[in-house]
Amino acid sequence: MKSKIGFTDPYIKNLHIIGRHTDPATSGLNLNIKNRGGKYWVFRYLYGEKRCDLSLGVYPRISLKEARIRALACRNDLAQGRKPVAYWKGVKPVEEAQKPLFKDYANECIESKKAEWDNAKHTYQWFRTIEVYANPIIGNKAIDEIDTEDVLKVLTPLWYSKTETATRLRGRLEWILASATTRKLRTGINPAAWRGHLETILPKPTKIATVQHHPALLYSSIPDFIKNLQNRDGVAALALEFLILNANRTGEVIGGLKSEVDFTSGVWVIPAQRMNAPGKL
């Protein structure tokens, strides 16, 4: 079963439900609990269209942190076309285990983080910016080998031409690399950090680019615009007209469900998690 609660050491310590429990933060990592209460880590994966299980060790001798490191190393083996091996059993010392590639670790990080994002577009942008701008340059480098020069190779081509995109990308790189440091997959300064680091090399974004907002439609032009929409075929025109008449946000309309509408009263109730309302985190 997939845990609805993020794995933590206290949670695992107090977990006694017999069966397989999936770590929501690390793809393929499972905690199996036997009838007599024994707990052990297993990495479940597909290799050659065959489902396989690799034992990662017994809990608590193998901590959650170490189990995640071992699982990420296994995923790196799969990414390289190799069947995962138990390097901790003598194939390799733990301290010499190959660190995951940036592209694999970044994907793992975003997958584990996206549960807290309500906006599907936001999740897509995280995946997309890393895939398009970062992976071609640093995707195949081990997570612990990435340095400031690598980050500059990613950011510099965008810093002047696509400043807002570059700024967001820098923040995402910083978060991914900080996560790797937390998991002890790398050490030292975060090469994507802005304060006290990249700010000494790159100009401030506010000094080189001004945010250009889309021009607003004049209030007096709305009636003609609505008529224009009504003369168009297709769902898109209907959705835009509905959005304007109800003063909704795009995401609220696109994500709307029939179950949210009370057809007796004609009232549409938008769930709080899909609204960008004041007070919402």
3-state per-residue secondary structure call for 203-268:
CCHHHHCCCCCCCCCCHHHHHHHHHHHHCCCCHHHHHHHHHHHHCCCHHHHHCCCHHHEECCCCEE
What's the confidence (pLDDT) of residue 238? 87
Does residue 81 sit within a domain?
Answer: yes
Summarize pLDDT for 212-233 with one digit per residue, the tens. Answer: 667 888 888 889 988 888 888 8
Does residue 248 sit within a domain?
Answer: yes
Q: Which residue has the higher pLDDT, 87 or 142?
A: 142
Mean pLDDT of 122-128: 89
User: What percentage of the chain carries pLDDT values higher than 70?
Assistant: 89
Does residue 281 sit within a domain?
Answer: no
Does residue 243 sit within a domain?
Answer: yes
* Pair (185, 242) in one structural domain: no
Does residue 3 sit within a domain?
Answer: no
Number of domains in the chain: 3
* Pair (199, 224) in one structural domain: no
We report the CATH number of the domain holding residue 76 as 3.30.160.390
Please say if the pLDDT value at position 67 is more than 70: yes
Q: Which residue has the higher pLDDT, 225 or 115?
A: 225
First to last CA, the chain: 29
Summarize pLDDT for 133-160 with one digit per residue, the tens. Answer: 999 999 999 999 999 999 999 999 999 9
Domain encompassing residue 181: 102-208
Please say if the pLDDT value at position 253 is more than 60: yes
Per the prediction, the chain carries an average pLDDT of 85
* Pair (24, 81) in one structural domain: yes
We report the CATH number of the domain holding residue 195 as 1.10.150.130
Domain termination residue (choose one: 208, 229, 264): 208
